[in-house]
């Protein structure tokens, strides 16, 4: 069984979490509620960026209420700071908005969403166009991380980490930080294995969480489509689904996985990966899969017309608070 992985804080992160990117409206609330109450998920991966923390919060209120019967300490809630927020005031604005929308007193994990710097602005501003020119720069990482470190003292977050950091960005951060990130959440699936990064993080005591663990099947992003013949053959032999094989591969390399689904049957199947293993040959076959294709490179955040950071709408917050 691989239910949890240890963090360098002494806490434990559940091996499987529910992703919530692009989970909108009531479908999001239904999926989170179903995942926790019917399928046994204890980790929900959120972000202010996703614009749906109010909908996640509606489900959390039920899950943690009398009807749900799950204790707060048994849930693991992650959220993320968008990268225009840098000063302590901006960061507190962001974390307070996430806490208010989710209906929580604290987050178990708060991540710096992207290493990409952007000119300082209000925490709810979309990234200014000028950021495009600088998106590969890392000069403000240290400054942002110091603010994250200070956040720990507020008790609003139990652990801090990063997301989408590569080795050089981590090296830069580790050279100056007081607190080593507990987690690096990055894109990982058989088509983007990032073996060196996973190994580097392991050596530094940084747990790695796999976002986009299924490669977003059925979309036009990148060239990836599931199932591939290798995974499909293994799945058939084991009597599992291709998605289960891919997620189990993620667990066996020591990474937690964050599949997103709005479909109850898939939500259940995606966590039904804890009590069986891939054999060595299957493991090796997946580790040899080609091509390696990165799907999420961050440019969407500047180039999309739907600039992703949505302002927290006060009336929605009030609506959630009144429930
Ligand atoms: N830190 C970051 O920058 C970052 C970036 C990207 C993602 N993330 C996190 O990682 C989570 C997961 O990534 P993702 O949402 O991009 O993509 P993903 O989990 O790789 O794929 C989600 C897609 O897979 C489908 N799916 C789910 N289970 C399936 C199954 N068993 N068989 C076939 N299809 C299945 C879902 O459709 P149905 O809903 O119809 O089942 C959905 O369209 C996100 O939701 C987010 O929380 C973080």
Res 120: pLDDT: 42
What is the predicted pLDDT for the residue at 315?
A: 42
Q: Which residue has the tokens 């989970």?
A: 23
Separation of alpha carbons 323 and 321, rounded Å = 6
Task: List the helix and strand counts (H, then E) for the chain.
Answer: 13, 10
pLDDT of residue 311: 34
Q: Which of 50, 106, 110, 302 is catalytic?
A: 50
Whole-number Å distance between alpha carbons of 250 and 215: 12
Give the rounded percent of residues in the chain with a pLDDT score beyond 90. 62
Query: CA dihedral defined by 8, 103, 318, 311, rounded to 10 degrees?
Result: 20
Report the alpha-carbon distance of residue 80 to residue 95 in Å, rounded: 8
- Closest atom of ligand 1 relative to the 241 alpha carbon: 31
pLDDT given at position 85: 63
pLDDT tens by residue, 106-153: 999 999 988 765 544 444 444 444 444 444 445 567 878 888 999 999
Coil, strand, or helix at residue 114?
A: coil
Rounded CA-CA distance 302/127 in Å is: 7
Q: Which of 79-93, 141-155, 200-214, 279-293 has the highest mean pLDDT?
A: 200-214
Decide: 243 in ligand 1 pocket, CB within 6 A. yes
Distance from the alpha carbon of residue 95 to the mean position of ligand 1, in angstroms: 24
φ/ψ of residue 207, rounded to 5:
-70, 145
- Closest residue (by CA) to atom 5 of ligand 1? 211
Looking at every residue in the chain, the average pLDDT score rounds to 83
Distance, in Å, from the CA atom of 261 to the CA atom of 99, rounded to the nearest integer, reads: 23
CATH tag, 13-317 = 3.20.20.100
Which one-letter DSSP state was computed for residue 184?
E
Cα end-to-end distance, the chain, whole Å: 37
- Annotated active-site residue 106? The verdict is no
Strands (E), 30-176: 43-45, 76-81, 109-112, 160-163
Give the tens place of pLDDT for each residue, 204-229. 999 999 999 998 776 655 444 555 78
- What residues pair up with 78 in beta bridges, in sequence order? 45, 109
């Amino acid at each position: 069984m691989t239910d949890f992985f240890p963090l360098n804080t002494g806490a434990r992160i559940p091996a499987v979490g529910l992703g919530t990117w692009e989970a909108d409206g009531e479908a999001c609330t239904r999926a989170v509620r179903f995942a926790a109450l019917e399928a046994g998920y204890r980790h929900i991966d959120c972000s202010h960026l996703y614009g749906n923390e109010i909908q996640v919060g509606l489900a959390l209120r039920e899950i943690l209420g009398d009807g749900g019967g799950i204790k707060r300490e048994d849930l693991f809630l992650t959220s993320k700071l968008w990268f225009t927020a840098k000063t302590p005031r901006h960061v507190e604005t962001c974390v307070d908005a996430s806490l208010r929308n989710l209906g929580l007193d604290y987050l178990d994990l708060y991540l710096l969403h992207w290493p990409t710097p952007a000119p300082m602005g209000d925490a709810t501003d979309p990234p200014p166009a000028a950021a495009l020119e600088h998106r590969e720069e890392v000069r403000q990482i240290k400054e942002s991380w110091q603010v994250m470190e200070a956040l720990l003292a507020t008790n609003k977050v139990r652990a801090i980490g990063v997301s989408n950091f590569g080795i050089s960005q981590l090296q830069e951060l580790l050279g100056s930080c007081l607190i080593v990130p507990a987690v690096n959440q990055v894109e990982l699936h058989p088509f983007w294995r990032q073996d060196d990064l996973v190994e580097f993080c392991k050596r530094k005591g940084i747990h790695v969480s796999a976002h986009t663990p299924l490669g977003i099947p059925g979309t036009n992003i990148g060239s990836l489509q599931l199932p591939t013949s290798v995974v499909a053959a293994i799945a058939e032999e084991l009597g599992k689904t291709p998605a289960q094989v891919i997620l189990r591969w993620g667990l066996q390399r020591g990474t937690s996985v964050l599949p997103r689904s709005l479909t109850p049957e898939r939500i259940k199947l995606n966590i039904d990966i804890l009590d069986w293993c891939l054999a060595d040959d299957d493991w090796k076959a997946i580790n040899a899969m080609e091509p390696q294709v990165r799907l999420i490179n961050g440019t969407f955040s500047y180039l999309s017309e739907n600039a992703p950071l949505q302002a927290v709408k006060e009336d929605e917050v009030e609506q959630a608070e009144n429930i």
